[in-house]
Amino acid sequence: MVFQKNNVNVACLKNWYRIERGRQVEENNYEKAGGGGAFLSSSAVAVIGTAALLLSVASVGNFATRAEAAETVEATQGWNPYNISIPTTTEKVSTYYQIATRTGSDATQLYKATFDNGSYKQTAVGSPVSFTYNGIAIDPQTSAMYAAVVKAPSGAKDSAGNPVQTDDFLYVNRTNGKIYDMGTPTGMTHTESFGGFNVAGASNGKLYMTNSGTTSSAGRQQLWTVDLSTGTATSTNLTAGIVMSSDWTYENGFLWGRADANGDLLRVNPSNGQIKSFTLPSNMPSGGNQGGVFTFGNGNLGLVLNHGVTVQLSIGNPENPQPKVIATYKTAPGAGTDGASLIVGPVDLSIQKTADAVTVSPEGLVTWTLKITNESDIPSSGWVVKDDVPEGYTDVKVVDGSGTVEGNQVVFTGGQLDPHESVQVKLSAKAPNTTIEECMVNTADVNGNEDDPNPDNDSDNAKTCDEPGTVVWKKTDEQKKALAGSSWKLSGPNGYSLSITDNDVNDTDKSDGVFNVKGLQWGAYTLKETKAPVGHFIDQTEHAFTVKADTLTIDLDDIINNTMKPGLKVVKTSEPTSGSTVKPGQTVTYKIKATNTGNTVLDPAEVKDDLSGVFDNATYIDGSAKSTAGKAPSVNVSENNLSWSGRIEKGESVTLSYQVKVNENASDGAKLANLVIASGTNPDNPDTPVPSNCTADTAKSDPDCNTVNPIVNPPSGPSVHTGGTVTKADDDGYLIAGGLAVLGLIGTGVAVTLLLKRRSSEQL
């Protein structure tokens, strides 16, 4: 056997091996560049330190030891009963191994494994041997792999033809898979009665080995310590009644494993055999029995679960462990696992973090790029990046790279990174939906599989400001005077919709007619008025704008509302024309023309004609009421009126017409007199009266609003002779006959000048 002395100028080495046994594994289950197999509980693991080999017996386990490459010394200085030639080969990158024993066969195969973007791949090393061995470990001084024989059938031999029996120690050539028997350490009790050693850990030249199961069972109460320099073994009693781990690994002066019974983390003090347990964090993957345990070069533990998951676990202070899950890896499922790692290091990894935008919209998408670089001259076997996206960001996703998302935490895992090589991963999230500017710092950390001599570059951050947009505008009339009371609808990206009324909660500027709306996410918007200020036309324009990084405040300037100027002009006429006399039996035609003289629609416009001065002496001709627009006017004889209501567009007119017939008994000197009143409503400003020329106050004085037609009905009997003049009645209603009128008096023939006094029924 060849051992090595420590050399502080040479990189640290660590090997990880995995043992599988207890089931048949087909050769094609272990691909040359990947794959996996089933690993069962009877495998053994050993961890070796600087000067001695420590073995522990349990069902299956992974363990790792730290060492530094060293100069070669003579094999005779260490325990090497068969004087085996042990090559002092080293690795340029941290390397991982495992072994498997196939069901139905005692043959054991060595495999080489590597971490690769969230998983690991296996490649067979050499050919399987014909018996079962376990408890593999690597001497950190020599990089040599050791193991223990779990089950050796009669006549079993090693690769050199030497006989092999249960509990013998083995040297395993990790470059070709050949094994060499080294015999049983002096002072170690033979364990064939309980199946051989199958759990081990090593450090500082000592190999610690136990058997899996409960420490109170026969053959399982002791921790064996083997000094590799002399090949002698001593034992220490373990805390009784503990269900042991399937594997041990050595780190910071303790052996670490995971209890087969309840999954707790176990810590063994190898100096006194004391075992303590610690609860693992709640995010520890559930399901599957515990398999191998090993140590990463960074001091974290590797817990291999048989259902296909390997967990990287930090323990913090070994005197007061605070376990935390750092990362998880996809692993080939199996009934048991076992391993060790050869770590080359230290390796300096750095990380740089950038965001695709310094300023982002509320609910806008942010993409971060993480660049991981190997700053050293030796490769890294793998790395983990953890990024805790700040609270408030949502929809966190992995964009590029092998990563997992839990809440707002993203964990990326990567494989080998060659010297001065870089790799990038990306993640994204939606920014908070906020109405105020808010800047957040997002930090990412890289953790390599190996020790890192420069922690200052293991963390980096990117600042992203969630800066919303703002839109401002002013509502004015034609003279640029601010107008109060308008309402608006703002529509934007992703179905965004906001109703705004002058000086409400969404308008942060409390000046009348001046608007300021904040908190807009980036994107395209349209603004449209839904209610105009009183007395003004609504603005029909859709005002479009876009909020973006270089245009965060948009000023739409003055948005003008034209003043409403409604108006209604009515002209009433008659045929014969107003002022002309009519006689009994004559037909009179009336027309009312209503014109919209304003700049607004009138809806409705209403016309009411008072016919009380008509129906006293005339009769409505049924069916004569007509309209040039809308429905025909309604004539109510009992209430002595005609009415019409309808819509008149701006600039348009409607003409109403109807006819009456002067009554035969109409008194001479009576008249047909009517009065029309018209009004309109501006639907955009219904509370403000529309100016009209024919109102209750103006209709009597405006000739366009009334007509008068006197009735002439000569009396029957003697006629008035020529030479007289009939004049209009005076204020008292009298008619005076001027000149001499000679009347023939019936029966007397007397001619007299007669003053007739007649009371007019109504004043003309």
Q: What tokens appear for 469 in the block? A: 């947009």
- Select from 710, 728, 756 the last residue of a domain: 710
State whether 265 and 321 are in the same domain.
yes
Q: Is residue 266 part of a domain?
A: yes
If you count DSSP H runs as helices and E runs as strands, how many of each does the chain have, helices first? 0, 56
Bin 730: left if φ > 0, else alpha if -120 < ψ < 50, else beta. beta
Please tell me the total count of domains within the chain. Answer: 5
Per residue in 105-141, pLDDT (tens digit) is 778 888 887 888 788 777 889 999 988 887 777 777 7
Quick check: is 123 in a domain? yes
Residues 291 and 174 in one domain: yes
Q: CA angle 179-335-344, nearest 5°?
A: 50
| Rounded Cα–Cα distance for residues 35 and 249 (Å) | 25
Q: Are residues 304 and 401 in the same domain?
A: no
Domain termination site, one of 554, 577, 601:
554
> In terms of domains, do 538 and 686 share one?
no
Residue 6 placed within a domain = no
Residues 109 and 133 in one domain: yes
Residue 680 has pLDDT above 70, yes or no: yes
* d(C-alpha 126, C-alpha 179), whole Å: 11
**Rounded Cα–Cα distance for residues 296 and 300 (Å):** 5
Element (H, E) at 400: strand 394-400
Please state the φ and ψ torsions of residue 256, each to the nearest 5 degrees.
-125, 140
CA angle 307, 312, 318 (to 5 degrees): 125
Which residues pair with residue 157 across a beta bridge? 163
pTM above 0.85, yes or no: no
pLDDT tens profile 507-536: 999 999 999 999 888 889 999 999 999 889
CB atoms within 10 A of CB 619: 14
Residues 581 and 454 reside in one and the same domain = no
Kindly report, residue by residue over 183-232, the tens digit of the pLDDT: 888 887 655 433 445 556 666 677 787 776 666 665 567 788 888 788 88
Query: Is residue 563 assigned to a domain?
Result: no
- Residue 659 maps to a domain: yes
Pairing mode of beta strands 359-360, 459-466:
parallel
Measured distance CA(681)–CA(672) in Å, rounded: 31
Evaluate if residue 617 carries a pLDDT over 50: yes
In total, the chain counts a number of residues equal to 764
CATH code of the domain in which 401 resides: 2.60.40.740
Same domain, 36 and 73: yes
Of 298, 316, 342, which residue constitutes the final position of a domain? 342
Euclidean distance between CA atoms 189 and 200, whole angstroms = 16
CB 72 within 8 Å of CB 2: yes
d(CA 116, CA 77): 39
Residue 329 within any structural domain of the chain? yes
The CATH number that applies at residue 55 is 2.120.10
Instruction: Specify whether the backbone of 298 is left (phi greater than 0), alpha (psi in -120 to 50) or beta.
Output: alpha
pLDDT confidence of residue 429: 95
**Average pLDDT for residues 73-97, to the nearest whole number?**
63
Is residue 560 a part of any domain in this protein? no
Query: Do 586 and 728 belong to one domain?
Result: no
In whole angstroms, give the CA distance from residue 17 to residue 29: 18
Domain identity same for 538 and 609:
no
Domain hosting residue 46, numbered range = 12-342
Residues 189, 117 share a domain: yes
In 3D space, the residue among 265, 258, 213, 196 whose CA is nearest the CA of residue 43 turns out to be: 196
Per-residue pLDDT tens for 280-336? 999 998 876 777 788 888 989 988 887 888 899 999 999 999 999 999 888 777 654
Residues 535, 585, single domain; the answer is no
Of all residues in the chain, what percent carry a pLDDT higher than 90?
Answer: 47
648 within 8 A of 654, measured Cβ to Cβ = yes
| One domain for residues 114 and 251 | yes
- In this structure, how many other beta carbons lie within 10 angstroms of the beta carbon of residue 693? 16
Tens digits of residue pLDDT in 693-719: 999 999 999 999 999 999 998 766 554
Residue 535 maps to which CATH number? 2.60.40.10
Lowest mean pLDDT, pick from 93-107, 272-286, 419-433: 93-107
3 found inside a domain: no
